[in-house]
Amino acid sequence: MSQTLRSTRLTLTDALDTFEDALLDIRKACVENALAISRENKPYAKLGEVWNEDTMMQHVRWLIVDERASIYMRVIKRIDTVRAPVRPGSITDADIARAKDFPITELFDGKLFNGGAGRKKGVCPFHNGGREKTPSFYIMADNRFYCFGCNQGGDSIDFVMKRDGIEFIPAVKKLM
């Protein structure tokens, strides 16, 4: 009888959320490991040096070790970002993601027609004062828009910024 094991990939964000209580310990371990790696491993091949097979293999090992150190540095940076205090009136990455997911079709004032392949089309709200005769404004299936008349495009946040003449943070807050 054979058993098939399915591996589940855990993203760094998920791991940090899971071990939220241990973030300081994880950060400390990453700093210690990155420092140990950088102290113990130096590049072996220097500019202008004649490379032989041994030198090349040592340098390849150093590159692999250097990649490990950069992974530790990315974890440290992510922990520092997660632990950063939220200022009053600021927004989070989750707020931005939610705002981008807000359907542009619900923001569009006007009639939308089927544009094929899951797209909607309509008269562009950004140019000609809405007096164009042929729809040039498209809302794509992935919730992005583009106008072939004025070459404006983007996501829900960009739409609100352009439509209402406001900055990024107020636009995100408006969509939350």
Task: Take residue 24 and report the two structure tokens written for it.
Answer: 């300081």
CA 111 to chain centre: 32
- pLDDT tens figures, 88-138: 667 888 888 889 999 999 999 888 988 888 899 999 888 876 677 888 899
Beta strands across the sheet bearing 119-122: 113-116, 119-122, 137-139, 145-147, 153-154
- pLDDT tens figures, 145-166: 999 888 889 999 999 999 999 9
**pLDDT in the model for residue 166:** 93
Among positive and negative, which fits the CA dihedral 27, 33, 35, 38? negative
